[in-house]
Structure 1
Amino acid sequence: MDFSPNNRKQESLWFKNKKSLNNVLFAMRLQSLTPKQRVSQEPTSKIQDFTLTNLVSDKTSLLSDEILLKILSKLSKSQRNANFLVSKRWLNLQGRLVRSIKLLDWDFLVSGRLFLRFPNLIHIDLLNGCLISPKNSGIFCTHKFVSFHVGSDIESKDWFFDENLVLNADEVDKGLRVLANGFPNLRKLAVFNASEMGLLSVAEECPTLQELELHMCNDQTLRGISACKNLQILKLSGTVDGLYNSVVSDLGLTILAQGCNRLVKLELSGCKGSYEGIRAIGEGCQMLEELTLCNHKMEDGWLLALCFCENLRSLRFLSCKSIDGGFGVDDDLGCCLQVESLHLEKCQLRDKMSLSALFLVCQNVKELVLKNCWGLNDDLFSAASTLRRVRSLNLEGCSLLTTQGLESVIISWNELKNLTVKACKNINDDEVNPALPTVFSTLKNLKWEPDTKSRLSSYLMGTGMGKRGSKFFKKPSCDWKSMPGK
């Protein structure tokens, strides 16, 4: 670079001639604008704004909102979070990039500030915003899907969550109407204690709604969902032990089946249905591919209605105290031939007749998952020998199952290709018979960690770890009774 006196003189003349520089900057600004924006520009006033000082202080002022939004959208979420601190303009642009939000303050929605701050939301979670809890309380409770503060004046230790901690249905409906008017492109919504009218306003104003999660809902509430013609994923929570108690029965399931015939995934938590309700779902929701039952309150015999779900691919049980106890030895259970995945997690499996009935109904499953299921011993697991097409088996936390019980079943599965055994303390390497290595040789994927404690101790052998802390737990040199004040 040449720093001769002539060059420095030319540079000083260039910076002194601000009028020419302003014309160049204004031309750059016009190139970044759309044709409509160019017409609305006033050259005389705008040229004065584009001084050299303005260029140096905020170089992004030359870019239009559309161009800057494209640039900011390329950043990762971690890099994008602090952008709103740059300026008010960046604050507004950052809000336009947000698509999902978890509302904590209900007034932020009702006042309309949510739309002004985040105008392009498509996923809104209102669960925590629907709760009324003392913010200054030091007691904080978390229960799966929701977290809330609890006051110290709890009258009953067994029931600290009641209807007084949730906004009433009228207030929730008011917020849903504001939400529907501001976000017509809404695709996913989660809400507490909504009524039929509130959901109806969302269904009418948000035709693109595809996923809905309702808590504290009942049969009457489900009437408002019938207008959601494009709903594909639905999660219903009727009764949750220790939190709230609402009733979703066969009546509500029938209403649901008649209105939401495009459902692909359905989750029923704490619902009190029966054979009639599940049959209505199977006949009305013919596109249903995944059904999840969480802590269900179904009456005996509901399992027989699964055969009406002709396109069901996946069946999941979560935290269920029972499956179905209404079968005899000679009952004709039918068969749900399309089910390929059967998932049981945190369930109580103590009735072999019930588990055998489930395996008979889903006899064509290719993937079987059993995680942290209480009562699953060798006798109960032997019922799985009827599943001849299993290609993937995942066992985790099944502490009562032994090596012999596992071997007696999987040696008859000729199509088994993937096996995962984790945290099953009664399955030991020392008890493996020659038949199991033969099965292992045909597998594509094998994850064998039945006893994590023994594996950990073998890794730590010789390192001295586990003994170094002993010096901190030796008998103290002084007697606490002889200390002052004792």
Structure 2
Amino acid sequence: MSSGFVENQNPNKPSPLNWSNLWLKNEKLLDQVVFAAKRRRSVSNKRPLSPLDDVTVDFPQIVVSNDLTSVFSDEILLHILSKLPEQSRRFSNCLVSKRWLNLQGRLVRSLRVFDWDFLISGRMFFRFPNLINIDLLHGAMVSNSHTTNSGLLINHDFGTFSMAPNEFLFDEHSLLPVDEVDFGLKVLASVYPNLRTLVVLNCSEMGLLSVSEGCPTIEELVLHRCNDNVLCGIAAFTNLVTLKLIGVVDGFYRSLVSDRGLTILAQGCKRLVKLELRGCQGGYEGIKAIGQCCQMLEELTFCDHRMDDGWLSGLSYCENLKSLKFVSCKGIDRDPDVDEDLGFCTMLERLHLERCQLRIKQSVRALFYVCQDVQEVVFKNCWGLNDGMFFHANLCRRLKFVSLEGCSRLTTQGLEAVVLSWKELESLKVISCKNIKDDEFTPVLSALFSALKEFQWCPGNTSLQSTILSCSGMGKRGGKFIK
């Protein structure tokens, strides 16, 4: 039985509206519409028409497009797309159409370049015209690992690299020539005048000068394989706030940053707030120059430094320094000066040591003396920190936060001897320190811990596991079932 037959069986149900039947049955209405069209036509031609004249009515053509967003302007779409999550903008939107691909490229602000030809050919400028953060580290490396089936993937603190088995980054053939990198920087500076962050490898002072002239607003600069001559181009970066210098990376590349380069840096970048020195040499004179010239410096980081003996005395000239960090350093200062010549940083608030080798007791004491006004101390996976070295932490009388993680040689007695001298301590964290035992607590130490505002205690793996198991309630469920 057809649907039409079913509808006709119900006389009370109204029939669906059919425009073709309506026009054919109501001839009077049709004549009126045709006459109205003729009348409009006569008005435009300045001639009266009768209802019997033949007139062709021009109806507007409706263009049907598959892209329903074509009626919106680029500005409206950019405003809408900018409100979407970054993950969606990066992968999904660019697949809609070529127009959306171009719009998505205009929203991108940060880019990591893996192919140097993408920069030199100009495709990068048309695809991403509004970049302000550019990383050229991987693009400046020449690797043949994509042509072999046995490529190696190497992870490092500053990136992941794909290399062939017989390839080394410290080999000159693995890096782009300096003149090619400088040419790329010159082109880059001419296209992106609003650049704020740049990461580059194996450039010269001429390349840096072209960037400083074309990008006056640049605020953060990361220089890999940097040396003293390259630092001659730093003086033109008047608005530089953050600077990272990587001179030596074991197994990757090697270059020299000495007191000469640090002095040039200090005289040119007087508005520095954050400075990181990785694999850099130098000594007292270079650190002193930085402290005297860069009076806005607040954060100073040393990674695997090669500083000369006695350099620690130069830190006292950093009068506004608030954070001091050591990462992967084989030592602090092999031969520090006496206390009278060391001085100390009056504004320092935070001292952080991570993956450092603390071999010399005298250097650790000198570090605590320089940082005696610090309020926060963090030791994370530092080798060699024993009770004798940690005892000198009682020089820091204003400590409020202390974190000890992976300090395997530190004992409960050594911790108690120092903790009781910190009268302003508010927070203590002890994690994975296997020689600190729960059963060695004294009543005085227990009372001190109970008075802290924040206390985290997992000194050994067994204590950590027992805490996790007790929180999960595994034993309670089994006991009920057995009963």
Q: TM-score, normalised by structure 1?
A: 0.83
* Cα distance in 2, alignment partners of residues 373 and 147 from structure 1: 25
Structure 1 runs not aligned, ≥5 long: 14-46, 465-486
The match for 1:133 among 123, 140, 143 is 143
* Cα distance in 2, alignment partners of residues 418 and 458 from structure 1: 20
* Cα distance in 2, alignment partners of residues 378 and 180 from structure 1: 54
Q: 2:135 is matched by which residue type in structure 1?
A: D
* Cα distance in 1, alignment partners of residues 209 and 21 from structure 2: 68
Partner of 1:24: none
Partner of 1:87: 97
> 5 Å matches for 1:302-317?
302-317=311-326
Partner of 1:197: 206
**How far is the alpha carbon of 1:243 from its aligned partner?**
1.2
> How many residues align structurally?
421
Residue 436, structure 1, aligned to residue 449, structure 2? no
Partner of 1:265: 274
The match for 2:155 among 137, 142, 152 is 142
Change in CA separation of 1:71 and 1:354 when aligned onto 2, cut-off 3 Å = same
> 5 Å matches for 1:80-479?
80=89, 81-134=91-144, 135-137=146-148, 138-153=151-166, 161-327=170-336, 331-456=340-465, 459=468
Which secondary structure does the structure 2 equivalent of 1:293 belong to?
strand
Deviations 1:228-266 (A, max 9, x none): 110000000111111111000111111111111000000
Which secondary structure does the structure 1 equivalent of 2:344 belong to?
coil
**How far is the alpha carbon of 1:458 from its aligned partner?**
6.5
Percent identity between the two aligned chains: 58
Deviations 1:204-232 (A, max 9, x none): 10011000000001001011111111000
- 1:273 touches 1:297 (CA, 8 Å); kept in 2? yes
Change in CA separation of 1:424 and 1:8 when aligned onto 2, cut-off 3 Å = farther
* Cα distance in 2, alignment partners of residues 142 and 455 from structure 1: 29
Partner of 1:470: none
**How far is the alpha carbon of 1:425 from its aligned partner?**
1.3
* Cα distance in 1, alignment partners of residues 131 and 169 from structure 2: 34
Larger radius of gyration: 2
* Cα distance in 2, alignment partners of residues 102 and 236 from structure 1: 19
- 1:131 touches 1:148 (CA, 8 Å); kept in 2? no
**How far is the alpha carbon of 1:291 from its aligned partner?**
0.5
Partner of 1:74: 83
**How far is the alpha carbon of 1:142 from its aligned partner?**
2.1
Partner of 1:25: none
* Cα distance in 1, alignment partners of residues 324 and 377 from structure 2: 10
- 1:214 touches 1:235 (CA, 8 Å); kept in 2? yes
**How far is the alpha carbon of 1:82 from its aligned partner?**
1.1
Which secondary structure does the structure 1 equivalent of 2:341 belong to?
coil
Q: 1:149 is matched by which residue type in structure 2?
A: S
Partner of 1:18: none
Deviations 1:343-401 (A, max 9, x none): 11111112111011111111100010110000001111111011100010011111111
Change in CA separation of 1:254 and 1:430 when aligned onto 2, cut-off 3 Å = same
Which secondary structure does the structure 2 equivalent of 1:291 belong to?
strand
Partner of 1:9: 19
Structure 2 runs not aligned, ≥5 long: 1-12, 24-59, 476-483
* Cα distance in 2, alignment partners of residues 194 and 209 from structure 1: 17
* Cα distance in 2, alignment partners of residues 366 and 330 from structure 1: 20
- 1:248 touches 1:272 (CA, 8 Å); kept in 2? yes
Deviations 1:119-155 (A, max 9, x none): 111111110111111123422222221332332335x
Please give the root-mean-square deviation of Cα atoms over the aligned residues, in Å: 2.1
- 2:344 touches 2:369 (CA, 8 Å); kept in 1? yes
* Cα distance in 2, alignment partners of residues 74 and 424 from structure 1: 47
Q: 2:359 is matched by which residue type in structure 1?
A: R
- 1:267 touches 1:293 (CA, 8 Å); kept in 2? yes
Which secondary structure does the structure 2 equivalent of 1:70 belong to?
helix
Moved more, 231-240 or 300-309: 300-309
Change in CA separation of 1:222 and 1:330 when aligned onto 2, cut-off 3 Å = closer
Deviations 1:405-433 (A, max 9, x none): 11111111111111111111111211121
- 2:169 touches 2:175 (CA, 8 Å); kept in 1? no
- 1:319 touches 1:346 (CA, 8 Å); kept in 2? yes
Partner of 1:16: none
- 1:133 touches 1:148 (CA, 8 Å); kept in 2? no
Change in CA separation of 1:65 and 1:328 when aligned onto 2, cut-off 3 Å = closer
Partner of 1:467: none
Moved more, 383-392 or 449-458: 449-458
* Cα distance in 1, alignment partners of residues 469 and 335 from structure 2: 51
- 1:321 touches 1:348 (CA, 8 Å); kept in 2? yes
Q: TM-score, normalised by structure 2?
A: 0.83
Q: 2:449 is matched by which residue type in structure 1?
A: F
**How far is the alpha carbon of 1:108 from its aligned partner?**
0.2
- 1:163 touches 1:244 (CA, 8 Å); kept in 2? no
* Cα distance in 2, alignment partners of residues 435 and 327 from structure 1: 36
